[in-house]
Amino acid sequence: MTGSPGAAISKKILRNLKAPSGSNDTSLDIFEDRFQCRETGEDFGFVDSVPSLYGTLDADGVDVTGRVKSFYEENPFPNYEGLEEFGQLVQKGSQNPFSADLLGAIGYNKTILECGCGTGQLSHFLQLNNNYVLGIDMSLSSLKLAEEHRQRNQLQRSAFIQMNIFDLAIKDNSFDVAISHGVLHHTYDAKKAFGHIVQKLKPGGIIMVGLYNSYARIPTWIRSKLINLLGPKIDYVVRNRIVDERKAEIWIKDQYFNPHETWHSVDEVLGWFEEFGVAFRNCSPAILGTSGEGAENLFAKTEPGNSYQRAITQMSWIGSIAREGALFDVIGEKAGPA
Amino acid sequence: MNVLGISAYYHDSAAALVKDGEIVAAAQEERFNRIKHYDQFPSQAAAYCLKEGGLALDDIDYIGFYDKPLLTFNRLLETYLAFAPRGLGSFVQAIPVWVKEKIFQKGLILKELKALGLGAIEEKQILFSHHHHSHAASAFYPSPFDSAAILVMDGVGEWATTTLGEGNGSEINLAKEIRFPHSLGMLYSAFTYYLGFAVNDGEYKVMGLAPYGEPKYTSLIYDNLIDVKDDFSFRLNMDYFNYCTGLTMTNTRFDALFGAPRHAPEAPLGQRQMDLAASIQTVTEEIVLKLVAALHRDTGQKNLCLAGGVALNCVANGRILREGPFENIWIQPAAGDAGASVGVALTIARTLGHAEKNPANGTSDAMKGTYLGPAYGGEEIRSVLVDHGASYNELNNNELLSDIAGYLAGGKVIGWFQGRMEFGPRALGNRSILADARSESLQRVLNLKIKYRESFRPFAPAVLAGDASQYFDLEEESPYMLLVAPVEKSRRKTVSDADNARIGLDKLNVVRSEIPAVTHVDYSARVQTVHEDTNPKLHSLIDAFKKLTDCPVLVNTSFNVRDEPIVCSPEDAYRCFMATEMDVLVLENFVLLKEDQ
């Protein structure tokens, strides 16, 4: 029944899973309190009643991963404002241009992988339109909130599993859409993580990656030096967006006291695309002077412009997206037949 | 004679076509352009009406506009002068728009009509009617009565806020009016605003919230805000309101009177908000009943026709029917400004075209069940489904009815799209979401996972007309879902003392009747009686459901999500179905199951 997390993972998601570090030929069955590998009989127990396929940590990343994980265990992000009903979540999502455009661009009946789903709001919203969404994160306390919301509202098509981005317990070429919005810059190697995610995408599938921008993040960095002195009100989002106190506190921690963050440029991401066989589709906010400015939707095919246009665009972001986290998203299509 | 009626430039623009006195088509622009309460020229609705009537503009004798723009401008000007210099800000802000749009409205309408590219029309063919006359005509001409008293109540027309009169044959005589700023609609809207809802949209929420509260503030309202005279008239104390001079409804004195500032939109609703809603609802009902009594005394009529936004207050309508002196009442289903387009078109047809009054036989009206919008053919539907790669079955009528009745009985929620779209704010079984009224959990599921709206909002029943009196204390027809009636005593369930002691939104969790999904916390229900002659398909469906379950009642709610207009086309319906947790979509005889998509 819907009450237990086990049975809540729909077949459309379950058939895309494999054992952590296992081969693509392994498959999993799900029980009340654990996954079991059909081929090897190995059990993967839930942790704190959250489904978990966490796998092993990369030796190079142990330090960063450990610090970031304990940070988000303490500060589940982005958190809910009070006891939010699904109806309110949908209202907010439809009024927010980013999530509304994203859902519109994704369309109907898709399987979606969200890497670094945190407390799961975006995953919950994207399961509208009969989409099936798997949200993964390493923070159990975040996933617990996501799962709690899912159960309370009896949502059938979003599912949450604790996983490690560098050892995804997901079969290659299995999802229609993969999203990682504001996550990879907290991993020890963002490019490597990107490569892992692309692997899980079907040929012709769409990937969207959202990262801190090297230009636009500068004002946040300056604020981080002042915030202890001047207080949280110097942050635009706290002043204008957040009502709930706990949520505001977590936003401030995430933005100014994160144990690890890296900054990235559009050109750098284009390099990743090249390396992992992803064709550029679009960028949000749009690259100035390109067809992206009039794009029909977030996933529309547009031109990435030249390096001069991209530099100007990113400088302009210091005056725009900088106040709300300085995230930019690049969208691409994995090579191969759609 | 062909007349195209237009309602626009205030809120809820719409068009209606009357051919030789018969209402052929009517629709609101918001359904086509998907912008809720769209208030500019209704281009797509007008084009649709012409198409439905098989006409070009050249075939139209007159264009009727529902309001006299100069009079309305006069009201703005005089209101400003009366309150000067207090309202300079809002006045200055309003003037350029009014000068541009309203004073030159005839030219503007002509320009918009020509832009349709559907033929030629001349300026002299455009006629204007008084706002409240348009409403009164929309209430009386299509009604089943040869003569009747007429009551129009809304926020404000040009000057009038409440108009009383009578109709005889083709003649409408509006004898008395209460003028701006003294307005029952504005008073209700002021509370709608104060409770944190949007004016001209949230009034339903206030009405839905009222039964959760106690009318604790009625004497405060009577003592300070409104003075009701014995002769039916009333005056508002403008010291507490801001709509004459400002851009909000209420002012700080109003806040002081009720002891707190305006409730923040979207903030959780508590007992205080419920008590305020209950109080303004009670006051509204009492004043309406007094007006109705006075109107009965003055006219000596036995029939009453109602229109104007306040006539959508179906709780008050139910009381007029049960407690008022009139034998019969009829309410224009498109009671708001959209319906005035029908009123002005009928007025022209009657007076200049000498059209006969509709076949008034005392029982059926001329609104055709209000199914006056576009219908879509099988091939059109199929191509939408194919474009989306949807998985569907096409069934014959018998299979369709038995399958869908079975799904309903199994607790599934059905998107039901059939025939011509309804005109007016209610979905009456052609653009509806249907479900089993016997379910104890459906109100919550429908509100939170399908409509995405507040959990307190009630749902309405669609009941076979022949069985209505067995489930509700209602002897009359209510085809337009405009009457609230109590659930029949024998259908109620005993409620424990503990459950009776619940307060506020917790009341929702008590099962009060055999049909809990449509029983409000005060045992009331906003009933739609379903008739074989106006909606045979829905009638057959409920009949099939009754054969399975012995229950002739379904939940009927509009086919949309919160803050969106009701669906119009198969494309809209598909999108809405996919964006919500609806289980089954029925487009004419095409059936889609969510699990197959």
Residue with the larger pLDDT of the pair A205 and B357: A205
Q: CA end-to-end span of chain B, whole Å?
A: 49
> Does the structure show a pLDDT above 80 at B399?
yes
Task: Tell which residue, B8, B2, B105, B109, has the closest CA to residue B50.
Answer: B2
Which positions in chain A touch B580 (Cβ < 8 Å)?
128
Residue of A86, A91, A153 lying closest to B562 (CB–CB): A91
Q: What pLDDT does residue B53 have?
A: 97
Contact: B449, A109; criterion CB under 8 Å:
no
Q: Is A205 helix (H, G, I), strand (E, B) or coil?
A: strand
Predicted confidence at residue A1, as pLDDT, reads: 36
Q: What is the mean pLDDT of chain A?
A: 90
Compute the nearest-CA separation of A58 from chain B (Å).
40
Residues B468/B474, Cβ–Cβ less than 8 Å:
yes
Distance from CA of B199 to the nearest CA of A (A): 19
Nearest CA in chain A to B448: A87
Q: Confidence class of residue B81 from pLDDT cuts 50, 70 and 90?
A: low
Q: Of A236, A255, A274, which marks where a domain is finished?
A: A255
Percent of chain B with pLDDT over 70: 92
Alpha-carbon distance of A319 to A317, in angstroms, equals 5
Q: Find the CB nearest A90 among B452, B454, B455.
A: B452
Residues A128 and A239 in one domain: no
* B60 within some domain: yes
| CATH code of the domain containing B38 | 3.30.420.40
Over 70: is that where the pLDDT of B585 sits?
yes
Residues 430-469 of B with CB under 8 A from A: 447-449, 451-455
A40 and chain B: CB distance < 8 Å anywhere? no
Asked whether residue B173 is assigned to any structural domain, the reply reads: no
Asked, for residue A24, whether it belongs to a domain, the answer is no
In the predicted model, is pLDDT for residue A27 greater than 80?
Answer: yes
Q: In what order do the strands lie in the sheet with A278-284?
A: A158-162, A132-137, A111-115, A175-181, A201-212, A327-334, A278-284
What pLDDT, on a 0 to 100 scale, did the predictor assign at position B67? Answer: 80
Residues A62 and A157 in one domain: yes
- Check whether residue B12 and residue B134 sit in a common domain: yes
pLDDT value for B90: 57
Chain A stretch 59-88, residues whose beta carbon is closer than 8 A to a beta carbon of chain B: 85-88
Say what the pLDDT of residue A2 is: 40
pLDDT at site A62:
81
Model confidence band, residue B359 (pLDDT cutoffs 50, 70, 90): low
Query: What global pTM score does this model have?
Result: 0.87
Res. B563 pLDDT band, cuts 50 70 90: confident
Are both A196 and A309 inside the same structural domain? Answer: yes
Q: In angstroms, how far is the first alpha carbon of chain A from the final one?
A: 35
Would you state the pLDDT for residue A234?
83
Does residue A224 sit in the same domain as residue A104? Answer: no
Burial of B231 (0-12, 13-18, 19+ CB in 10 A): exposed
Q: Report residue A34 as tokens.
A: 């654990």
Residues on chain A touching B388 (C-beta within 8 angstroms):
108
Query: In terms of CA atoms, which chain B residue is nearest residue A82?
Result: B268
Single out the residue in B328, B357, B390 at which a domain terminates.
Answer: B328
- C-alpha A114/C-alpha B13 separation (Å) is 43
Q: Could B449 and A153 be called an inter-chain contact, meaning their C-beta atoms sit closer than 8 Å?
A: yes
B263-273 confidence digits (pLDDT tens):
988 788 889 99
Is the same domain home to A100 and A184? yes
pLDDT for A82 equals 67
Tell me the average pLDDT of chain B. 89
Cβ-contact B49, B60 below 8 angstroms: no
B360 shares its domain with B272: no
Q: Which residues of B460-496 are buried (b: 16+ CB within 10 A; e: fewer)?
A: bbbbbbebbeebbbbebbbbbbbbbbbbbeebeeebe
Question: Which residue in B447, B578, B597 is closest to A87 by CB distance?
Answer: B447
How confident is the model over B124-143, as pLDDT tens digits? 899 888 888 999 999 999 99
Answer with the one of A255, A274, A301 that is the final residue of a domain.
A255
Q: Does B597 touch chain A (CB under 8 A)?
A: yes
As a whole number, mean pLDDT of residues B376-384 equals 97
Is B520 a member of any domain? yes
Same domain, residue pair B449 and B541 = yes
Q: Smallest Cβ distance to A87: which of B452, B579, B594? A: B452
| Same-domain pairing of B521 and B383 | yes
Q: What is the mean pLDDT of residues B359-386?
A: 88
B164 in a structural domain: no
Query: Is A11 an interface residue toward B (CB < 8 Å)?
Result: no
Q: What is the pLDDT of residue B444?
A: 83
Residue B199 lies in a domain: yes
Tell me, yes or no, whether A280 and A251 share the same domain.
no
- Tell me the pLDDT tens digit for each residue of A215-250: 888 888 888 888 888 888 888 888 877 777 888 888
Q: Which two tokens stand for residue B320?
A: 């007029």
Cα distances (angstroms) measured from residue B12 to each of A63, A283, B45, B424, B578 = 61, 38, 12, 10, 27
Spatial strand order of the sheet with B14-19 comes to B22-28, B14-19, B2-7, B62-65, B126-128
Is residue A96 included in any domain, yes or no?
A: yes
**Closest Cα to residue A180, out of A123, A128, A263, A108?**
A123
| Contact present, A302 and A282 (Cβ < 8 Å) | yes
A63 in any annotated domain: yes
Chain A residues whose CB is inside 8 A of the B578 CB are 108, 128-130
In a domain, A71, yes or no: yes
**Who contacts B386 (Cβ-Cβ below 8 Å, separation ≥6)?**
none
Angle, alpha carbons A245-B457-B404 (nearest 5°): 125
Alpha carbon distance B521, B207 (integer Å): 12
CA distance B196 to B193: 5
List, in order, residues 6 or more apart from A312 with CB less than 8 Å away: A288, A289
Distance CA A95, CA A77 (A): 20
| Domain-embedded: residue A52 | no
Residue A230 sits in the same domain as residue A295? no
Residues A85 and A192 in one domain: yes
CA B10 – CA B94 distance, rounded (Å) = 12
| Probe site for chain A from B34, B388, B448 (most A CB atoms < 10 A) | B448
Q: Looking at beta carbons, which residues of chain B come within 8 Å of A109? A: 389, 597
Nearest chain B residue to A86 by CA distance is B448
Closest chain A residue to B576, measured at CA:
A129
Examine the domain organization and report whether A208 and A91 are in the same domain. yes
Cross-chain residue pair A87–B594, CB shorter than 8 Å: no
- Which two tokens mark B147? 């003569």
Whether B131 and B208 share a structural domain: no
Residue A37 lies in a domain: no
Residue A3 lies in a domain: no
Q: How far apart are CA A42 and CA A20, in angstroms?
A: 11
> What integer pLDDT is reported at residue A157 of this predicted model?
94
State phi, psi for A205 to the nearest 5 degrees: -75, 165
Q: Is B386 on the interface with A (CB under 8 A)?
A: no
pLDDT digits (tens, 9 = 90+) for B162-205: 899 999 988 899 888 888 888 888 899 999 999 999 888 889 89
d(CA B168, CA B149): 9
- Residue B431 and residue B420: Cα distance in Å, rounded? 9
Indicate if B344 and B413 belong to the same structural domain: no
Q: What is the mean pLDDT of residues B315-338?
A: 93
Quick check: B448 and A128 CB within 8 A? no
Same domain for B361 and B263: no
The number of distinct structural domains making up chain B is 3
Per mean pLDDT, which range of A112-121, A296-305, B349-358 is the poorest? B349-358
Residue A3 has pLDDT above 50, yes or no: no
Tens of pLDDT along A132-151?
999 999 999 999 999 999 99
Cis? peptide before B565, omega within 30° of 0:
no
Q: Is A307 on the interface with B (CB under 8 A)?
A: no
Tell whether B358 is covered by a domain.
yes
CA distance B456 to B211: 10
Q: Name the residue among B179, B291, B277, B282 with its Cα closest to residue B235.
A: B179
* Nearest chain B residue (CA) to A127: B579
Judge whether residue A304 has pLDDT over 90.
yes
Residue of B266, B386, B412, B452 best to disrupt the A interface, most CBs of A under 10 A? B452
Q: Are residues B340 and B471 in the same domain?
A: no
In a domain, B170, yes or no: no
User: Model confidence over B522-553: pLDDT tens digits?
Assistant: 999 999 999 999 999 999 999 999 999 999 99
Whether B386 and B353 share a structural domain: no
* Lookup: tokens for B442: 């459906």
Q: Give the domain range for residue B252.
A: 179-328
Quick one: average pLDDT of B419-432? 96
User: Is the predicted pLDDT of residue B323 greater than 70, yes or no?
Assistant: yes
Report whether pLDDT(B102) > 70. Answer: no
Give the structural domain span for A238.
220-255
DSSP 8-state assignment for residue B225: T
- The CATH number of the domain holding residue A271 is 3.40.50.150
B594 touches chain A (CB under 8 A): yes
B interface test, pick of A94, A156, A243 with most B CB neighbours within 10 Å: A94
| Residue A29, domain member (yes or no) | no
Same domain for B319 and B451, yes or no, is no
Predicted complex ipTM: 0.81
- Co-location of A249 and A282 in the same domain: no
My answer on whether A329 and A226 are in the same domain is no
Supply the pLDDT for residue B94: 57
Say yes or no: A153 contacts chain B, CB-CB below 8 A: yes
Amino acid B314: pLDDT: 86
Number of structural domains chain A divides into: 2
CB of B2 less than 8 A from some CB of A? no
Residues A139 and A247 in one domain: no
Put simply, the answer to whether B449 touches A85 (Cβ < 8 Å) is no
Partners of B561 on chain A (C-beta within 8 Å) are: 90
B115 and chain A: CB distance < 8 Å anywhere?
no
* Cα-based distances in Å from B401 to A183, B466, B545: 50, 19, 8
- Residue B449 DSSP one-character state: I
Q: Is B37 in CB contact (< 8 Å) with chain A?
A: no
Residues B429 and B388 placed together within one structural domain of the fold: yes
Are A129 and B452 inside 8 Å of each other by CB? no
- Say yes or no: A236 contacts chain B, CB-CB below 8 A: no
Joined tokens for residue B29: 């622009």
Question: Which of these, B277, B251, B270, lies nearest to B262 by C-alpha position?
Answer: B251
DSSP string over B577-597: HHHS---EEEETTEEEEGGG-
Tell whether B411 and B475 lie within a shared domain. Answer: yes
B580 compared with B509, residue with greater pLDDT: B580
